[in-house]
Structure 1
């Protein structure tokens, strides 16, 4: 019933406009006849006749077909005047045709026919322009400081946004844009639906909008890309209503407007975790996170705090990162117990001390080196941190009786072609060699590149764009799998909660993203055009990099889990004795800083390691670290 009343309320103003326009047709037709006959012989023209009815019917049909009633007087402008002119001219032809069939146009003076479209255009256009001027003057007097907002999306999010904006008082919603035909000409919370989203540039000019707001939180990436592209063409700033998931997880506040982020445009939907299972496993537990000040480690701490952990121990070698992460946790989750430990988790004394203080039920090992090109020239540190430290922490957890040990791995451990992938694969094998059914549960979680993590491509592109470019991409064809930091941490918690004693989990991450496309989208989000405002330079693949990453190994039989987007791999057989011997030899070579021996031992321990772009003997050089552009191509 309420929807019927709303439709009727929206139809009444339109009926009034139609009545006004038909009244003007009658008035102009009468006035022109009386003017014409007053200059000649006197004649009496009836106020109503079959001829006048035919004229008004023909003109009314033309008005409707031309679309004169899709716009609003409130926003009348040049396009509306052009529509009125077309309607008047076409109406004249329709009237002449109708009268010709009716009475051969014998009773209508030619002067009336010539003047009719011009006079009618003035009589229809003037009231519209005067009404707009009056409304504009009222708004200016009411609030000179309000920001005029055009909202893209007239659904529930848009309706809620209007209510929130009115509470602030400094924003004035001037209209909605929506592609739904049924909403055309209607009103939402008293704000009119003015047109379709592709018409945003024209309507923004007509309404003098100063800000665009995208209220489509459920739109997929492809739809959002089209909307953002339309917004960019206007040259106006634009924001978006946050997704419900971001609000629920505390990354955005209800009613808060956020900038469109690159993860919103990536082309894959975020994985939705089973929070009931996660809270059931994590609730009231004590957890320990290594590398707690890093991108993944700090978010893991926040997720654990948000979903029921009672105590969190943080191991971090960077004192500033440890201080900042602890302060943020205490601010956002003041009721939990925190145990910060400054030190290297690969130091047996540090990890033993932290385990004794926190008595954790679960340990998340996030500490690692992960920069692919750098690690090609830093083999010793890659082995020491990614392999030997993992072996130290994993063995200490088993000896302390920790319930679950979770290794944060990478898709680069699948068929590794670089030092990062080989060291992380050996870390996986080390954890597998320590697993048995009577002690600690060892879980490995693999995922692809993480957006906005420290040292990732997104912060690099953002800084290059801020500096005016150029943006450097290694190769036009290079692709990567991407996920957000919160999504990666949710996957880690979800995999940990599944309950398998020994497993490797990976995420079905959908389609890989071309890095070239990522760069172009980030440039556009900054309000600039790729190739025109910001150049893109292709520098060639760096040491250890390949064009395309793989998520799955041919010998690891994958099966679905209780979560539709998480797959479980069957671990390949490893020799615990061989792994233990390899770790001991790697420790000796690391203590001597013998890179040749480290390289040979790594190849022997990880037979599938097939280096790509390898520098002989892993010789360090400024060239390897700086990666200057070679054979650079610009677009």
Structure 2
């Protein structure tokens, strides 16, 4: 990389950085030369000491040293950092040592120096072990010292962004030496800034130069300090930076630092939503939320991930009353206290602990509060757990939904919004099948009810309780391994705020039992997601943190769908939201199946559940059928 228009003072700083890098290279080369000589002498002693000690021509060793160092250099064995020595570095060392021993043996033969093939083979093994071993010993020792507290060293930080946000980050790091984070350089894609300084920290290059600068400056951590950046640009920067194996962090958005200060506690670790590769779904909630204002709104499952976010967003639109209903008191209490702190007496809030399964209790609640709008988010959602507890999934997801939807019809609720899932499409699990029945329930009621029923179907929600991302992050924190069920498994993802905005938008459009679907972009391969999270945490996948494949779980398929083949797709006023036309089904047959199913679960005749559910949900297939289709 070339630096233009740099003053002598600036050049001296860069020369100092480069000289430290060259010194580390020289030390490494010296260590390798010692390893080569030791391997050569040891091989000679082992092979020839039993017979006649082979006379060693000094030129034989010098040739071997010269060729070995050249091949190691060409193999980029001196451009990697010792502390990151891993599988790729080991392969490079093996290749370089193998090439050097082949070339050396040929040159020895040409100039009349004779050693046996056994000597060269042993020498190759010893050289590889010694050269690779020195790097491994350094890496292991360094980690031991750091973890044991014997070595407390400041992290060297590279700042991405030479604007006002970068300026604030540098100030914050310099003003807080106890953070043990030392800014050593800045990169920015504005070519006019290259060679300048911010708070005496040099702007060393552009984003494309990050890999070179990380090596040269011995960088431990990269902070992306660009407050106002598009998702696409952020993804491109992350993609380049994550290959450096440094820990990556990011500052808050522009609106979070509008007061002109960056709180270092708010400089967060990267999250997987930073890599979604699309802009967040935007909904003008002021236009679609009229049906919430001055109305009584009930949210079932109001303490859960989706339910609590619904409560947060609904509270902002001045409902006449907001009712949080949940069976789990801790979650309900948490969102209740959050809303009280934020709104105080301005929000008419009621929190109710009750189960949607209890028909009489639900009837009293509907009779007392007369809700105008119901968001039904209460459900059992964990696929493997429900496979082991199918009767619980049915009681909650089917008959709990039936209780709430029937009461919505009875008390003439204006709008009823069911939170559904992509797992209801051609379901392969009891959870997905029960959610498909929940969709059928609101479709059947919509035929005769004054209430506008609607279902909202979307994929996996990032960061929801018990979901994949928190699990992977926890496994990384614990040192691994990160467990993935299958190397080819893919999923759609969205953020919790996106999901809730879609739900509120769908509520405004509700009519005719429709199913709303979000264009969620391209699906993400779970193994790639895990790889990214490991790298963004500053580790090397399958070197520092292993990725382990455990096999598909009961009821799990390789991919999820958002629509059934029978459903049509209709545009809405929002370019990312579509309507799936409800699939017709025999209402009378559906009612009879529900009666049979009720009797089965009441008697806990679990062995009969599978057959009746497959008759009720004709698209319910076994996981292996779906996976065979995916692989076809």
- CA shift at 1:174, angstroms? 7.0
**Structure 1 counterpart of 2:225:** 215
2:457 to 440, 446, 454: 446
2:407 to 390, 396, 403: 396
> SS at the partner of 2:268?
coil
2:164 to 152, 159, 168: 159
CA distance in 1, matches of 2:337, 2:238: 39
CA distance in 2, matches of 1:81, 1:298: 51
Find out whether 1:474 has 2:485 as its counterpart: yes
Asked whether the 8 Å contact 2:516–2:579 carries over to 1, the reply is yes
Find out whether 1:73 has 2:81 as its counterpart: no
**Structure 2 counterpart of 1:336:** 347
CA distance in 1, matches of 2:6, 2:236: 27
1:568 to 579, 587, 598: 579
In the TM superposition, what whole-angstrom CA distance separates every residue of 1:261-301 from its partner, at most 9, and x where no partner exists?
11112333321112222333323332111111211111111
Distance change >3 Å, CA 558–CA 161, structure 1 → 2: same
**Structure 1 counterpart of 2:38:** none
**Structure 2 counterpart of 1:315:** 325
Find out whether 1:427 has 2:438 as its counterpart: yes
**Structure 1 counterpart of 2:69:** none
Asked whether the 8 Å contact 2:208–2:240 carries over to 1, the reply is no
1:80-99 → structure 2 map (5 Å cutoff): none
1:111-510 → structure 2 map (5 Å cutoff): 150-154=158-162, 158-160=163-165, 162=167, 170=175, 176-185=186-195, 193-200=203-210, 212-216=222-226, 217-220=228-231, 223-224=234-235, 226-227=237-238, 230=241, 233=244, 235=246, 238-243=248-253, 256-334=266-344, 335-436=346-447, 439-510=450-521
CA distance in 2, matches of 1:66, 1:582: 75
> SS at the partner of 1:389?
helix
- CA shift at 1:322, angstroms? 1.8
Stretch of structure 1 that moved more, 401-410 or 218-227 = 218-227
- CA shift at 1:531, angstroms? 0.5
* Unpaired runs of at least 5, structure 1: 1-64, 84-145, 615-635
CA distance in 1, matches of 2:522, 2:256: 23
- CA shift at 1:468, angstroms? 1.5
CA distance in 2, matches of 1:161, 1:600: 62
Distance change >3 Å, CA 227–CA 202, structure 1 → 2: same
Q: Could you state the TM-score of these two structures normalised by the residue count of structure 2?
A: 0.69
- CA shift at 1:437, angstroms? 6.8
- CA shift at 1:567, angstroms? 0.5
> SS at the partner of 1:325?
helix
Larger radius of gyration: 1
- CA shift at 1:315, angstroms? 1.2
Stretch of structure 1 that moved more, 596-605 or 186-195 = 186-195
Distance change >3 Å, CA 346–CA 380, structure 1 → 2: same
**Structure 1 counterpart of 2:535:** 524
Stretch of structure 1 that moved more, 319-328 or 365-374 = 319-328
CA distance in 1, matches of 2:333, 2:446: 34
- CA shift at 1:360, angstroms? 1.9
- CA shift at 1:75, angstroms? 6.8
- CA shift at 1:561, angstroms? 0.6
- CA shift at 1:536, angstroms? 0.9
How many aligned residue pairs are there?
482
CA distance in 2, matches of 1:399, 1:68: 77
- CA shift at 1:361, angstroms? 1.7
- CA shift at 1:559, angstroms? 0.9
> SS at the partner of 1:445?
strand
2:608 to 597, 616, 619: 597
**Structure 2 counterpart of 1:35:** none
- CA shift at 1:562, angstroms? 0.6
Q: Could you state the TM-score of these two structures normalised by the residue count of structure 1?
A: 0.69
Distance change >3 Å, CA 368–CA 68, structure 1 → 2: closer
